[in-house]
Amino acid sequence: MPTSSATPAPRANPLRGRVVRAGDTPASPGNLANIITVVRILLAPLFIWMMLADNGDLGPLRVAAAALWVVAIATDSVDGMLARRQNLVTDLGKILDPIADKVLVGGALVCLSLLGELWWWVTIVILVREVGITVFRFAVLRSRVIPASSGGKIKTVLQSVTIPLFLFPLHLLVGDWILWVNWVLMALTVIVTTVTGLDYLWKAWRGNRVTPPAPSSVA
């Protein structure tokens, strides 16, 4: 029986596409914006180790861990700006970006609670909201997009300011009064985080009764 001499077609490179340059052609899932996001995720375990290794001594390792968290969370705006400016937005990036944020925020809150510096109920409330809304967004992403209020951005800013105040041992430098500022900001963070989560669910429920939904922004 004659055998076919046809050679199999070469497999398409899954990472093919633009990596850095702007353009209208498809962007590679391995583009620079996504690489920055992945690095942010990989920094989270290092941050957690540094926090727990310091064990509440508030020494140089604690300061380094806090500085690392600030750098990692700051790259969120860097990769987002790069992706939009260079048209490097990909489906992979849409999945990884919120995961990176939640891993960093959750890691910081859990470490603070493990060290006895933050009530566990605060950590649980924030994490339930963050993880729950993220999972919900992924669940409905294929069928529709739910608009988010500007409160989502306020929530993100509050978390980005409040958590470093807890991470850095500033009270050793400026006095215990800063601890009152920390707790006031944390109370606002919990309130805004909870309210924006409920607002998101309300819009999701209302979206089932109207058509079509408006474009979404940060939750």
Note the helical H segments in the chain.
32-54, 60-85, 91-114, 120-140, 151-167, 171-174, 177-207
Q: Which of 78-82, 163-167, 185-189 has the lowest mean pLDDT?
A: 78-82
CB contact at 8 A, 185 and 164: no
Summarize the confidence of residues 123-138 as an average pLDDT.
89
Q: Is the peptide bond before 212 cis (omega within 30 degrees of 0)?
A: yes
The reported pLDDT for the residue numbered 214 is: 47
pLDDT tier at 143 (50, 70, 90 boundaries)? low
Query: For helices 32-54 and 91-114, what crossing angle results, to 10°?
Result: 10
At the fourth CATH level, the homologous superfamily of domain 32-207 is: CDP-alcohol phosphotransferase transmembrane (TM) domain (1.20.120.1760)
Which tens digits make up the pLDDT trace of 199-209?
888 877 776 66
Distance, CA of 142 to CA of 138 (rounded, Å): 8
> Domain residues of the chain, as ranges?
32-207
Estimate to the nearest angstrom the gap between the alpha carbon of 95 and the chain centroid: 10
- What is the rounded average pLDDT for all residues in the chain? 84
Q: Which tens digit of pLDDT belongs to each residue from 102-120?
A: 999 999 999 999 999 999 9
Taking phi over 0 as left and psi of -120 to 50 as alpha, with beta for the rest, 116 belongs to left
Residues 47-59: tens digit of each pLDDT: 999 999 999 999 9
Contact between 33 and 79 (Cβ < 8 Å): yes
